[in-house]
Amino acid sequence: MEDLRDRLEERSETLASHVGDFVENSLGKAVEQPIFLAPFLEGSPEPMTWYSVPLSTGCSGDGSEYHIYVKVGTLNRLCVFFSGGGVAWNEYTAARPVTGGKMAAGLPNYYWNNLRPVTQIMNINVGITDLFSETNPFRDWCFVVITYSTGDLHVGDGEFEYEAVDGSRQTLHFHGYRNFLSAMEVGKRLFPEPESLLIAGNSAGAFAVSALAGEVAQGFYPNCGDVTLLSDSGQLLYKDWRRTARDIWRSPEWIWQPVNSDNITLCWFRELYHTYGRRFRYLYSTSIHDYLLSAYYSDVTFKRYRTDAEVQEAFFHQTVEMVHELKAIDPEFGIYLNDWHIPLVTKGGSVHTTVREVYFTTLSQDGVTQAQWLADAVAGRVYDVGLSLIDTPKGADYHFTST
């Protein structure tokens, strides 16, 4: 009976994997149509148009090409956005990049290792990068979207050899930091002196905000005095972050040196505040039972890549501690919490990231969308939303707004 159940589960995973790969391939082919695919930037960009900019010095994790996205807005305000897309922290995770099939089957898949047509959907024209929605308060801003396909939280600077699932020896190019520098050179050329600067990121990009915001502001825009930071869903406790950043990703010393606890985001934010203080407005957002980050936490802690009520509750308590620690860094640290659930998708937990999702402008917590909260913050009105959720494990219901 047990053998039969195992065979049925295996067949179910295989079917789901085939369906997932089919969906990804279909979406990729649709995006490849000229009407949808962002054109390569040649010459001067037209306003309110997304462009793809290939970087000759850039490199994805699997060694393939690398590009970023840029948009000239109607305002002299710039958002530098760090994209998310998972993380690899050892040989096992390096050998298991994301595919549509693995995601559909619930199989371990840890990071995107290249940029393919379907990844455009993740990077532009959604949430804060949406060109078409008049409810998006950042629609008219200029953008540099630093895409992510290296598994190193945008801070890697070396090569890593690993054994692939098929037994072959492969090299993962942890070039996130190099890609970042090349991307910012493009950004500086296109947007030399913005009046306002928003440095934001979701998921893996949320970690990068705390690590690299200082270099963006001081290294590329030292004359901009109006700078806001948003880290959206950057929490993953792991006791070996320092060793990973130093020995696996080969990050520069100034990046791994401040990492001295299992919360790498807190370490980087503490260092950032120690160096720059109130030069920046600091913001952090997350859902309190994040189904995806809790699955990663389960893997790094229990070697089980899955989410369930137990690890989601652990994530909740970690979030409570995270908020308290951020407020200890700066009592004016702006916080946005939610507990939004989407049946089937969030697997009993809550959503993963908001800023570059359709619910950036459509879902609200305590009557405030994240879009409104962020727009208020960049205008100098920093406040908290959803702190009542961490006073009770059950959280609160969300509702749609009529924005």
Q: Give residue-wise pLDDT tens across range 326-359.
A: 999 999 999 999 999 999 899 999 999 999 999 9
77-82 and 196-202 beta bridge pairing:
parallel
Name residue, tokens 């030292």.
222
Alpha helices in 82-231 (DSSP H): 91-94, 100-105, 119-123, 176-190, 204-214
pLDDT at 5 over 90: no
Helix (H, G, I), strand (E, B) or coil at 234: coil
pLDDT of residue 107: 80
DSSP H stretches of helix in 161-308: 176-190, 204-214, 241-243, 253-256, 264-276, 291-302
Q: How confident is the model at residue 382 (pLDDT cuts 50, 70, 90)?
A: very high
The answer to whether the beta carbons of residues 45 and 70 sit under 8 Å apart is yes
Total structural domains in the chain? 1
Tell whether pTM > 0.85: yes
User: Is pLDDT at 284 greater than 70 in this prediction?
Assistant: yes
Residue with tokens 């913005």: 194
Burial of 397 (0-12, 13-18, 19+ CB in 10 A): exposed
- CB distance 282 to 334 below 8 Å: yes
Please name which of 121, 115, 120, 117 lies closest in space to residue 65, comparing C-alpha atoms.
Answer: 115
Q: What angle do CA 154, 273, 68 make, to 5 degrees?
A: 25
pLDDT tens for 11-59 read: 433 333 334 444 444 444 444 545 469 999 999 999 999 999 999 999 9
* SS3 assignment, position 243: helix
DSSP 41: P
Helix (H, G, I), strand (E, B) or coil at 376: helix
Spell out the residues 6+ positions from residue 149 whose beta carbon is closer than 8 angstroms to its own.
Answer: 60, 61, 66, 85, 112, 113, 114, 115, 119
> Structural domain of residue 11, as residue ranges?
2-400
| pLDDT at residue 126 in the model | 96
Instruction: Output Rg (C-alpha) for the chain, integer angstroms.
Output: 20
> In which band, very low, low, confident or very high, does the pLDDT at 99 lie, cut at 50, 70 and 90?
confident
Q: Phi and psi at residue 209, in whole multiples of 5°? A: -55, -45
- Which of 102-106, 135-139, 198-202 is least confident? 102-106
* Angle formed by the axes of helices 291-302 and 309-329, nearest 10°: 100
What order do you get walking across the sheet with 399-400 strand by strand?
368-369, 363-365, 399-400
Mean pLDDT of the chain: 90
Largest pairwise CA distance in the chain = 70
